[in-house]
Structure 1
Amino acid sequence: MGHDTKLEELAIKLFSIDAVKMGEFTTKSGIKTPVYFDLRVIVSYPEVMEMISNLLQEYAIKDCAYDHVCGVPYTALPIATLLSVITKKSMLMRRKETKSYGTKKSIEGHYKAGQTCLIIEDVVTSGSSVLETVKDLRKEGLKVNKAVIILDREQGGSANLLNNDVEITSLFTMTSLIEILYKNRKITEEMMLKVKAYIKETQAVVLEPSVDRLLLPYEKRAELATNQIAKQLFNIMATKKTNLCLSVDLTSVTSILDLLEKVGEHICMVKTHVDIIEDFNKDFVTQLKQIADRFNFLILEDRKYADIGHTVSMQYMKGVYKVGEWADCVTAHSLPGDGVLKALNGHMNSVSRGVFLLAEMSSEGNLISPEYKDATVAMAVKYPDLITGFVCQNKDTFKDPGLIQLTPGVQLESSKDSLGQVYNTPEKVILENGADVIVVGRGIVAAKSPETQVVIYKDALWKCYTKRVSGKLE
């Protein structure tokens, strides 16, 4: 029996069990309709459930590559369960309401960030229900780009989903189903024409596509930021027209402060490695903060915390440097798990602070894998008030426009140093790789005239940013 014959048989069966009804109805999206699909009744008809599952497997998903299936709650859950059994693929379940106890998870099941999940849904009108599930799965670091459905009502849902990088494959469109029912004398020609006219006249609300962070200006992204330091940094960049972060890897207090006096008006942030300063003292911190306030730039201590939570807490607040008292933000590794973030978060209730989480590194031969990167991004989602952004090299690392991509390893000309640091040009890191804040060190610090060189870098980086947000990348 061919696909068409099997689909015809299923359409007639759905009509006979009242899963397809004619009359006057209102859909979940608020649209009035002369035809309604109530697929909740199929749970009482095992043979129909089996037909649907087999057809979806044969017709829609046989050639797909995926790790998990997830049914949109609640009608699609029985079908997703059967497909999981038929295909021998793991199933995930999305809760409509996150638990207030236990793990408080919105997605149940075993999965890893970076894995692929296939969405199963019964009917798509506007696509909003599918997108709710897609959003929660993507928050966990899962890749979701395909949904298989029983019926596409042809009212804009397919386009809405495509705008959000989700392609759908359906067993039926409204038109194909109605034509089968008319051909088999289940409905009149008048009813078929009425439904076809209704499809043409009635379209669902167009859902906004996921915002492309690369095309949004900094001031707009400031409104979307949940971390106060990210908000502040976006606004500083927009106001000062600079996305340059200076890395001052110098070993004396005087050399650092003198350099910042010369270049402070041209940078949005300074990156320090406080533990290399040989004559560190409290006065240095006081003067550093005064210069930062005067020139309106932030202080990032590039400490790269990577220990158990308790130790990180002590490293952040105690010892000689007392980083938590003066650094607006710090860097951290995700390697030990989110205990690092819990520890830092515990000290940031009374004062605005932020964390850049390392998702990638610019050094040659580093061991960060794509799976590690995806898991890092998934971990950050749990700390929206804490995470300022990610240290990374790739525009696809994260989507959230309220977070900042901090990219080091930039020089006006591509090169590589003797210790394996790979340098890229401003054009490459901003236009191709998606950097928001660009870290420059030796290109300015080691220049004969840092005050001249900083302006050259600032202008080159800002020009690339304005080109990017204009959308004219050619």
Structure 2
Amino acid sequence: MHAHSLDFLDLAMEYDALRFGEFTLKSGRVSPYFFNLGSIASGAGMARLADGYAAALEDADIEYDSLFGPAYKGIPLVATLSCALAARGRDVAFTYNRKEAKDHGEGGVLVGAPLGRRVVIVDDVITAGTAVREAIDLIRANGSEVAGLLVALDRQERGADQRSPIQALGEDEGIPTIAVATLADVLGYAERRDFDADIRRAISAYQAEYGVAPAPGAA
């Protein structure tokens, strides 16, 4: 497990963003864990979160010159990631979008810096992947290339077509995917932190029933 993955999962536990038990998902599946990045809602927490994103992006070693955060959850993530990268010596411009086009003032859908040539999309967790695909279309429509997708957690869980949403994006769009942590990391974390054996068995069983291999090109 990467050091940034371990620190990220420690952070998620501290803020109750990662919980264990029985949680019925929108899909109807009963998951032994639940992840809500919105629970990390303090300056110190966001600073650590952004540093985890920055470390994962650096480790991925992809070429990019711009960041994009899809509305709404991606907006604070992309802004704080830009700050974390600046603290590491790289100043990267960021852009985000409005849900609806503004028809007065400067108008338009995009806010922030002009999109660069190679853009990394920054989000929390990909479920259906609809919002990310919309972001991809928006970025390409503005003449830029999507250099990668960066998320907090890859659930590594099969969707309707037997692929995870992140796998589908990687295979269909040819986009590298980067996760600060994965479901495999969550299981490793539970073992490292010596969680109750029932929790570990439940995660292992869920992974065996619904899990997929990491997406091609995933970091």
- Shorter-chain TM range is 0.7 to 0.9
Match of 1:149 in 2: 151
Map of 1:89 onto structure 2: 92
CA contact under 8 A between 1:43 and 1:49: conserved in structure 2?
yes
| Cα 1:174/1:101, change in 2 over 3 Å | same
Instruction: Tell me how far apart the structure 2 counterparts of residues 180 and 173 of structure 1 sit (CA, whole Å).
Output: 10
Inter-partner Cα distance in structure 1 for 2:24 and 2:137: 26
Q: Does 1:173 align with 2:182?
A: yes
Q: Aligned to 1:98, what secondary structure does the other structure show? A: strand
Name the residue aligned to 2:137.
Answer: 135
The secondary structure found in structure 1 opposite 2:94 is: strand
Q: Whole-Å Cα distance in 1 between the matches of residues 24 and 103 of structure 2? A: 33
Query: Which AA in structure 2 matches 1:195?
Result: I
1:158 is aligned to: 166
Q: Which runs of 5+ in 2 are unaligned?
A: 158-163, 213-219
Paired-residue identity, %: 24
TM-score, normalised to structure 2's length? 0.77
Whether 1:75 aligns to 2:73 is yes
Report the 3-state secondary structure (helix = DSSP H, G, I; strand = E; otherwise coil) of the residue aligned with 1:43: coil
Output the CA distance in 2 between the equivalents of 1:33 and 1:178. 13
Instruction: Work out which of the residue numbers 54, 57, 60 in structure 2 matches 1:57.
Output: 54
Q: In structure 1, give the amino acid aligned to 2:101.
A: T
Aligned-partner Cα distance in 2 for 1:27–1:128? 17
d(CA) in 2 for partners of 1:120 and 1:175? Answer: 21
* Offset of residue 153 of structure 1: 0.4
C-alpha distance in 1, partners of 2:27/2:112?
A: 29
* Equivalent residue number for residue 21 of structure 2: 23
| TM-score, structure 1 normalization | 0.38
CA deviations on 1:416-440 (whole Å, 9 max, x unpaired) are xxxxxxxxxxxxxxxxxxxxxxxxx
What is the letter of the counterpart of residue 119 of structure 2? Answer: C
Work out whether residues 125 and 152 of structure 2, in 8 Å CA contact, stay in contact via their aligned partners in 1.
Answer: yes
Distance (Å, rounded) in 1 between the aligned partners of 2:123 and 2:131: 9
Alignment-derived partner of residue 31 in structure 2: 33
In 2 relative to 1, CA 28–79 (structure 1 residues): closer, same or farther, beyond 3 Å?
farther
Higher Cα Rg, which structure: 1
- The code of the aligned residue for 2:137 comes to K
Answer yes or no: is the 8 Å Cα contact 1:179–1:192 preserved in 2: no
Relative distance call for 1:129 and 1:189 in structure 2 (3 A) is farther
For the pair 1:108 / 2:100, whether they are aligned, the reply is no
Residues 202 and 128 (structure 1), Cα distance of their counterparts in 2 relative to 1, 3 Å cut? farther
1:88 aligned counterpart, secondary structure: coil
Residue type matched to 1:66 in 2? Y
| Equivalent residues of 1:175, 1:196 under 8 A apart | no
User: 1:333-359, CA deviations, whole angstroms, 9 ceiling, x for partnerless residues?
Assistant: xxxxxxxxxxxxxxxxxxxxxxxxxxx
Counterpart check, 1:189 vs 2:191: no
- What are the superposed Cα offsets for residues 304-334 of structure 1, whole Å, 9 maximum, x if unpaired? xxxxxxxxxxxxxxxxxxxxxxxxxxxxxxx
Q: Give the paired residue count.
A: 199
- Give the match's secondary structure for 2:95: strand
SS across alignment from 2:48:
helix
Equivalences for 1:36-435 in 2 at 5 Å?
36-44=34-42, 46-61=43-58, 63-85=61-83, 86=86, 87-111=90-114, 115-155=117-157, 156-162=164-170, 163-185=172-194, 187-202=195-210
Aligned partner letter, 1:16: E
**Structure with the larger RCO, 1 or 2 (CA within 8 Å, 6+ apart):** 2
How far did 1:32 drift? 4.4
1:17-48 deviation line (CA, Å, top 9, x unaligned): 1101223435466654331111112122x233
Give 3-state SS (helix, strand or coil) of 2:72's partner: coil
**CA distance 1:68–1:129, shift in 2 (3 Å):** same
User: Structure 1 residues 100 and 31, CA, compared in 2 at 3 Å: closer, same or farther?
Assistant: farther
Cα distance change, pair 6–104 in 1 and its aligned pair in 2 (3 A): closer
The residue number in structure 2 matching 1:257 is none
Partner of 1:390: none
